[in-house]
Amino acid sequence: MSYATITVDSNTAIEVIPANPQRHSLLIVNMGAGVVYVADNSSVTTATGFALTSGSNLSEDSGGTKLYTGAYFGISNTQATVRYWERTR
């Protein structure tokens, strides 16, 4: 299991969650006031990322199949705080 809190800003995309080949499930929560845009590559923008509005979350569970184990990146329209929790095999 791993977890962390990351500050995301509007200047450049940052790695929000590092790659983990042992990932079994994942929860990402936007704790900030702005929208955070998440994607599986560092070229994520506010136009291309999956939008997490304030207080919303994204969860993934392998459910017995292969789960994406690469890094997640994020960018925001304002400074925001993202928390994640990850369960590993």
DSSP letter (8 states) at residue 10: S
Q: Determine the pLDDT at residue 72.
A: 96
Q: Determine the pLDDT at residue 47.
A: 93
| Burial of residue 30 (number of CB atoms within 10 Å: 0-12, 13-18, 19+) | buried
Is the pLDDT confidence value at 51 over 70? yes
Q: How confident is the model at residue 64 (pLDDT cuts 50, 70, 90)?
A: low
DSSP class per residue in 31-71: -SSS-EEEESSTT--TTTSEEE-TT-EEEEE-TTSPPP-S-
Instruction: Give the residue-averaged pLDDT of 52-58.
Output: 95
Instruction: Give the residue-averaged pLDDT of 14-33.
Output: 93
Domains and CATH numbers, the chain: 2-88 (2.60.120.770)
